């Protein structure tokens, strides 16, 4: 069996669902169920004996030790992280605790477990750490895309905390021999995405008749990766990745944020038009940019294609259509995640931003 941490969040839940759709191997799913962790993401697995959900924190060493000894996983995939830049600006301490201290405690527990394994089980064990392209910093327009050897230059409390966790994972391999793999992905999108991030926020606000807040001039460029492509890449790295290596996972889809918003509006105009027949683009509002906003991220995913034969199957056009359709067809999920705490966060982050 495998142990997945953070498996009730956006990417983690998609990974668990895809894993069990393709394999009978049991998943132990450890998630603290903070604001972005949602058991409803895993509702289809409620009666599936191959899925064992455990509510808990990766920083709880006693709990993690018990799970490792009891279930003897052959691999751990670590999705658990605080991941929203805006939240890290407002409250960085949670990011330090989860992404740095939590990863450290998880690594300590895993190292002790791995040291007790014998022979083939020890040789075949893997710890796969899921990270982000934001650790590399920001690019200007004509810079080449990030490769795995690009210097780390994190610019937000979030990316700095993820960079620290990446360094810890690397150190545990080089110092203790722990068989690790690290992946750095570009911006994900798709089903179950918590609506604090750009694409789901635009969809939900548009349908609710609210403003579509675009930071600054909207020309910040990101590479977009459909979440199910990301999941397939992680499976491939776990299967065939070289121990100690880093693999960048991207969608080869660099686009300015404003283009993303325009695309979402066009799809909604087509699939669920406004009652007044006007375009959702009329709801776009430019607001004050966030502090230290990185201008451009771009992933060079050549290594994973060259060495492991992986490349994304979705274009942005096919992936974004599937995403918008999913949100339109899952309005009960959308309503349920917009709790009082979510509304308080949106008000905190956007109120007072001048147009």
Q: Which residues are catalytic?
A: 133-134, 158
How far apart CA 180 and CA 242 sit, in angstroms, is 9
**Length of the chain as a residue count:** 355
Residue 310's CB: how many other CB atoms inside 10 A? 22
How far apart CA 179 and CA 107 sit, in angstroms, is 11
State the Cα angle at 94 between 93 and 99, rounded to 5°: 105
HEC assignment per residue over 132-194: EHHHHCCCCCCCCCECCCCCCCCCCHHHHHHHHHHHHHHHHHHHHCCCEEEEEECEEECCCCC
| Torsion on CA atoms 101, 104, 105, 107, rounded to nearest 10 | 160
Q: Are 213 and 257 in contact (CB under 8 A)?
A: no
DSSP 8-state secondary structure symbol assigned to residue 206: H
Q: In the chain, which ranges are continuous DSSP H helix?
A: 10-22, 61-71, 85-90, 93-95, 103-116, 119-124, 157-176, 198-207, 227-240, 257-271, 302-308, 316-329, 331-337, 340-350
Element (H, E) at 219: none
Q: Per-residue b/e over 331-344, b at no fewer than 16 CB within 10 Å?
A: eebbeebeeeeeee
Residue 321's CB: how many other CB atoms inside 10 A? 16
């Amino acid at each position: 069996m495998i142990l997945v941490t953070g498996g009730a969040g956006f990417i983690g839940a998609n990974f668990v669902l895809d894993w069990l759709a393709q394999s009978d191997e049991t998943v132990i799913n450890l998630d603290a169920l903070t604001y972005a962790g949602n058991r409803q993401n895993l509702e289809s697995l409620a009666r599936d004996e191959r899925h064992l959900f455990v509510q808990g924190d990766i920083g709880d060493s006693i709990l993690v030790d018990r799970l490792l000894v009891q279930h003897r996983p052959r691999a751990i995939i670590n999705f658990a992280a605080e991941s929203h830049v805006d939240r890290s600006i407002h409250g960085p301490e949670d990011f330090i605790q989860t992404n740095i201290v939590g990863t450290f405690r998880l690594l300590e527990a895993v190292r002790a477990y791995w040291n007790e394994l014998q022979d083939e089980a020890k040789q075949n064990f893997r710890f796969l750490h899921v990270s982000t392209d934001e650790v590399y910093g920001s690019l200007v327009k004509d810079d080449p895309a990030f490769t795995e050897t690009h210097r780390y230059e994190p610019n937000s409390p979030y990316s700095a905390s993820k960079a620290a966790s990446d360094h810890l994972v690397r150190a545990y391999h080089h110092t203790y021999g722990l068989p690790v793999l690290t992946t750095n992905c570009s911006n994900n999108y798709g089903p179950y995405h918590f609506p604090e991030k750009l694409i789901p926020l635009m969809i939900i606000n548009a349908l609710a008749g609210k403003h579509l807040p675009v930071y600054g001039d909207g020309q910040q460029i990101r590479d977009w990766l459909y979440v199910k492509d990301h999941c397939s890449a992680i499976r491939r790295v776990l299967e065939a990745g070289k121990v100690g290596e880093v693999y960048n996972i991207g969608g080869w889809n660099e686009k300015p944020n404003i283009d993303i918003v325009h695309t979402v509006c066009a799809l909604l105009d087509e699939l669920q038009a406004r009652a007044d027949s006007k375009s959702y683009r009329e709801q776009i509002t430019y607001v004050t940019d966030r502090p230290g906003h990185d201008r451009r991220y771009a992933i060079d995913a050549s290594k994973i294609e060259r060495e492991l034969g992986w490349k994304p199957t979705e274009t942005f056009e096919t992936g974004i259509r599937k995403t918008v359709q999913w949100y339109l067809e899952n309005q009960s999920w959308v309503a349920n995640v917009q709790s009082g705490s979510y509304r308080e966060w949106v008000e905190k982050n956007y109120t007072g931003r001048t147009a």
